[in-house]
Amino acid sequence: MPLRFDSSALRLCLALAMGACCAVGCSTLDHPGPGMVKDAMSPIQSAFLHHRSAEERQTIDIFEPIDVDIRNFAGDVVITGHHGEQGARQGSLTLVRRAVHGIGRADDSEASLSDIALRTDLTEIEPGHFLLTVESTTSHSEPWFQRLDIEIDIAQLGAVRVHTARGHVVVRGADRGCDIETTDGDCRFITRRVIHDPMTIATSAGDIEVRLPTGSTGSFDAETVGGQVFSSIKTGRWLLRDQRNDGNSMVATLNAGTNRILLRTTDESIYISVSDRPDTSFSIISDL
């Protein structure tokens, strides 16, 4: 028996979807989570909110360690390394210019994409060690309607520096520490490689999640205004060493480490985890 669809119900669902898009506007659909969620939302944004985007992709045929330095005027940054594991695939750099002027301004969004300027550079800083640099700026008169989303996938990821705004930052599989600054976005640093390097992660209106493997060290200084600090230390020696520690701040050492790990946010929370398999859980620490 063939399936039958109730056309009136279908029209109602479409109307509700359009109404939700209009009601939410740029405040939510303009900035979903990075990666898969953003890709799923793009057709809706283009159809109902008149957002526009332009993508370019470059291949990275280098399997030696690559440090990453990103200075982005605004947008999400997702960086993935594979610890130089055998069979690591060809690397890639994906850059997506986005304009989100909103309903009735599709032409403005389309025309503004060319105002986003970017520069990429991949250089060998010493034998067998490379540096990938990405810089972006905009000359648009309404820069708050624009951003550049960056996604990097490489075989062996070294140290990471990301300075962006209005964007999420996700770093997976780094072999070294990080320096991350953003606003209005979540930050996640997840690695299976033991970390003994300094780290700085600062955002506003976003969660911070740090997941490190057994054997890592650190002198942690975590503080949030308007949120809480959580820790799940399953391996190693975790020493809380400041009597001022409370729900929204935590000063502690991991395995007597002296490498400073500075974590700062506002309005959201900080999650710290140390375990044998830090990369096994999918999202924000689930065992707290």
Does residue 171 lie within any of the structural domains? no
Tens of pLDDT, residues 210-248: 999 999 999 999 999 999 999 999 999 999 988 889 999
Which residues are paired to 189 by β-bridges? 171, 210
Q: For the chain, what is the total number of helices (H) and then of strands (E)? A: 3, 19
pLDDT at position 107 is 94
Tens of pLDDT, residues 257-284: 999 999 999 999 999 999 999 987 555 5
Is the pLDDT at 118 greater than 90, yes or no? Answer: yes
Token pair belonging to 74? 């605004």
Q: Do residue 108 and residue 195 come from a single domain?
A: no
Task: Give the phi and the psi of residue 58 in degrees, each rounded to 5.
Answer: -125, 145
Percentages of the chain per state (helix, strand, coil), in multiples of 5: 15, 45, 40
What domain count does the chain have?
2
Does residue 155 lie within any of the structural domains? yes
Q: Do residue 99 and residue 203 come from a single domain?
A: no
Of 43-47, 80-84, 168-172, the one with minimum mean pLDDT is 43-47
Does residue 37 lie within any of the structural domains? yes
Q: Do residue 190 and residue 162 come from a single domain?
A: no
Does residue 14 lie within any of the structural domains? no
Q: Do residue 71 and residue 193 come from a single domain?
A: no
Q: Which of 135, 166, 197 is the last residue in one of the domains?
A: 166
Does residue 149 lie within any of the structural domains? yes
Does residue 213 lie within any of the structural domains? yes
Q: Do residue 57 and residue 158 come from a single domain?
A: yes
Do the beta carbons of residue 172 and residue 192 sit within 8 Å? no
Question: Which stretches within the chain are classed as H helix?
Answer: 7-24, 36-48, 106-112
Q: Do residue 38 and residue 156 come from a single domain?
A: yes
Q: Which of 166, 201, 232 is the last residue in one of the domains?
A: 166
pLDDT at position 150 is 97
Of 76-85, 129-138, 173-182, the one with minimum mean pLDDT is 76-85
Tens of pLDDT, residues 36-51: 445 545 666 666 677 8
Does residue 84 lie within any of the structural domains? yes
Query: How far is Cα 194 from Cα 77, in angstroms, rounded to an integer?
Result: 23
Is the pLDDT at 132 greater than 90, yes or no? Answer: yes
Q: Do residue 92 and residue 218 come from a single domain?
A: no
Provide the domain limits for residue 155.
25-166
Query: Under the phi-then-psi rule, with left for phi > 0, alpha for psi from -120 to 50, and beta for the rest, what region is 236?
Result: left
pLDDT averaged over the chain?
85
Q: Do residue 147 and residue 230 come from a single domain?
A: no
Q: Do residue 62 and residue 135 come from a single domain?
A: yes
Q: Which of 166, 197, 218 is the last residue in one of the domains?
A: 166
Q: Mean pLDDT across the stretch 191-209?
A: 97
Of 70-79, 85-94, 111-120, 158-167, the one with minimum mean pLDDT is 85-94
pLDDT at position 2 is 42
Do the beta carbons of residue 196 and residue 123 sit within 8 Å? no
Q: Do residue 160 and residue 264 come from a single domain?
A: no
Does residue 2 lie within any of the structural domains? no
- What is the CA angle 175-180-184, rounded to 5? 140
Q: In sequence order, which residues have a C-beta less than 8 Å from that of residue 169 and are 6 or more positions away?
A: 76, 77, 78, 162, 180, 182, 185, 186, 187, 188, 203
Q: Do residue 116 and residue 38 come from a single domain?
A: yes
pLDDT at position 46 is 63
Q: In sequence order, which residues have a C-beta less than 8 Å from that of residue 33 and are 6 or more positions away?
A: 168, 186
Q: Do residue 57 and residue 109 come from a single domain?
A: yes
Of 34-48, 52-66, 89-103, 245-259, the one with minimum mean pLDDT is 34-48
